Amino acid sequence: MNKNVLVTGGTRGMGEAIVKEFAQNGYNIIINYVKSNEKAISLKSQIEKEYKIKVLLIQADLSYEDEISKMVKTALQEFGKIDVLVNNAGIVIDKEFVDRTVEDWKQTLNVNLIAPFILTKLIGKEMVKQKNGTIINISSTNGIDTYYPSSVDYDASKSGLISLTYDSAVEFAPYVRVNCIAPGWVNTEMNKELDEEFVKEETERILVKRFGEVEEIAKVVYFLASDNASFINSSVIKVDGGWY
Ligand code: NAD
């Protein structure tokens, strides 16, 4: 029987690459998305045809607890179980430190940290019942050791996600492995507004002298979900090309 994975923010960027990686490996996929209806429908039809797997699209804004709960309920009703949860969705609001508002903080924390907590709570419990499952959180090197005052709330949310990883690994042991990936700079829409000079400076600081590609993150996510990573638990893996 095929395994099932739920990927949040699964229609573009890293999320889309993660969806394709799991599809390629025979997983049925629950794709959460918030806005891009057309993109979601075309992605579903493309990967169902190409990989002969089932895709369930669920539109849900992760800023709202009721939409998250409804999504989990629908996913369990339709697919019966969730074997892998990938907390990928995230937002960044670029604004000077001193201009940042409490509303900015709340918006960022809701999507980047509180939504992963709610999903981990709801799905982790189910994984314990089925005595099997794994959760992968997409944090960031901003949550570890790269600091940008203009994304202070984002950085805090990504540090929080690392704490959530450790705490939920303890909470759901021994049946559920919970791990975290901390990507460095990756070429996605999230970075499309970055200043050219800033990109040049950051690229100089990366040992491989380039930004990463989404597939390079997706492969690590799939590895962590697979049996090849059966002894990796409560870990944070930096995937950043070596940043100094
Ligand atoms: P992206 O902006 O292309 O993707 C973010 C996804 O999250 C989108 O699909 C978006 O629709 C979804 N999303 C945002 N708000 C949502 C909401 N309220 N409800 C549901 N979905 C929502 O960027 P990406 O680079 O692919 O980001 C994926 C993850 O990787 C994020 O958590 C991001 O913080 C993290 N990350 C990115 C980088 C990078 O350099 N691109 C580096 C480190 C970590």
Q: Give me the long-range contacts of 105-108 (CB less than 8 A, separation at least 24).
A: 105/153, 107/63, 108/153, 108/154, 108/157
Residue 29 Cα, ligand 1 centroid: separation in angstroms?
A: 18
Q: Determine the Cα–Cα distance for residues 8 and 87; give it in Å rounded to an integer.
A: 6
Q: How confident is the model at residue 94 (pLDDT cuts 50, 70, 90)?
A: confident
| pLDDT at residue 146 in the model | 82
Q: How confident is the model at residue 147 (pLDDT cuts 50, 70, 90)?
A: confident
- The set of protein residues with a Cβ atom below 6 angstroms from ligand 1 is 8-9, 11-15, 34, 61-63, 88-91, 111, 138, 140, 183, 185-186, 188-191
| pLDDT at residue 1 in the model | 76
Q: Check 33, 51, 154, 222 and give the catalytic one.
A: 154
Q: Which region holds residue 175: left if phi is over 0, alpha if psi is between -120 and 50, else beta?
A: alpha
Pocket test for ligand 1, best of 58, 61, 71, 88 (most atoms within 8 A of CB): 88
Provide CB contacts within 8 A for 105, sequence distance 6+.
153
* Model pLDDT for residues 170-220, shown as the tens digit of each residue: 999 999 999 999 999 999 999 988 999 999 999 999 999 999 999 999 999
Mean pLDDT (whole number) for 81-89: 98
Q: Would the pLDDT of 49 be above 90?
A: yes
